[in-house]
Amino acid sequence: MTKEVVLERFSVLHASDIDAFRASVSQFLTPHRLTPRGAAATALRTDVAVAPLGPLSLVYGHHRGCELDVQLTEQIDYYDVNLSWGGRNRITCGTDEVVVDQQTAGIISPRMQARMQLSNDYRQLHVRFERHALERHLEGMLDELVVAPILFGTAMDLRTPAAASWTRAVRLLVGDLDSGGLVTQAGGDSSWASFLMTGLLLAQPHNYSSRLESRRQGAHRPAPVKAAVDLIESQPESDLSVERLAFEAGVSARSLQRHFRDHVGVPPRVYVQQVRLARVHDDLLATRPGSGTTVADVALRWGFSHVPRFAGAYQERYGVPPSVTLRQVPPAPSL
């Protein structure tokens, strides 16, 4: 039986060279080392296809001829849902281990370094979501700032109704792209990315799941928290000491600290810092090359008086120094 051709219209590689396969996949995902198991690397045949859809990318890889060991050499800075189109992949992230097959997907979150064991004739689709986009999407669903990376459970059980529905949607998208259907004709409509981000955040447990559930059930933050958050988000560059926030919220500093711990998950000063970092990030991304704007200019604009300390906090949140974001080349156009 002939196997289905996946994203053939978006093929970027057909090769029998293991180094070419590694280099191609590294270009669209994360740098890594590949080591053949058993058979010689000369027996390897590989295919890679990539379909970009704005903040979402589909990266398909197929190899046959031998098993492969994979070691990521850098932490990933995006969200990567690994779906098997045939064969198995054992993913190890720290103490977590998941076998990706027809019933289970594997999810790698930012800052993770993973090892993988790919079976012979393994066909895998990586559903890649850019970190900033997924976290901003969650902020829209929560109507509040996401102050730490989303950390998904590593194993996604595709037999649960929500996960099964999400996977069917991914397969529908792949089929539409393969046939040159509506997505291609619409120029890569990013509504697919939005739909799949919402679905993933609802289908797979993560560290914000309880907050999402509370939001869906109509739970609201206490008035003092809302008042403080509104002030922080409207004037993040101003003096936002705990004392001022407590005064504006009409409660004691100790009471405000307790409210933030219970309903926001971090102290007020951390929330202030994360809002400021988000504003800096947006400004750095929007800065045109040659404008003369510096990282220090933007940091000071948003209330950071100690630039080296700011740079460390920025790299902790976004995974790169602010200078890298400032120099970032705009992403390639979508389909």
Question: Residue 332: its pLDDT value, please?
Answer: 47
Helix or strand (DSSP H, E) at 67: strand 67-72
pLDDT tens digit at each of 335 positions of the chain: 346 678 999 999 999 989 999 999 999 999 999 999 875 556 789 999 999 998 999 999 999 999 999 999 988 989 999 999 999 999 999 899 999 999 999 999 988 889 999 999 999 999 999 998 999 899 889 888 888 789 999 999 999 999 999 999 999 999 999 987 777 655 555 689 999 999 999 999 999 998 888 877 766 788 999 999 999 999 999 999 999 999 999 999 999 999 998 888 789 999 999 999 989 998 998 888 778 899 999 999 999 999 999 999 998 888 789 998 888 754 444 44
Give the CATH number of domain 223-326.
1.10.10.60
Question: Residue 3: its pLDDT value, please?
Answer: 60
Instruction: For domain 8-213, say whether CATH 3.10.20.30 is its number.
Output: no
Question: Residue 184: its pLDDT value, please?
Answer: 62
Domain boundaries, given as residue ranges, for the chain: 8-213, 223-326
Question: For the whole model, what pTM was predicted?
Answer: 0.79
CA distance 37 to 294: 49
Residue type, 190: S
pLDDT tens readout for residues 314-323:
988 887 899 9
| Helix locations, the chain, DSSP H | 18-28, 131-142, 161-179, 182-185, 191-203, 209-216, 223-234, 242-249, 253-263, 268-286, 295-301, 307-318, 322-326
Question: Residue 334: its pLDDT value, please?
Answer: 43
CB atoms within 10 A of CB 261: 12
DSSP 5: P
DSSP letters spanning 136-199: HHHHHHHTS---S---B-SEEETTSHHHHHHHHHHHHHHHHHHHT-HHHHTTS-THHHHHHHHH
Question: Residue 219: its pLDDT value, please?
Answer: 67
Q: How far is CA 262 from the centre of its chain?
A: 26
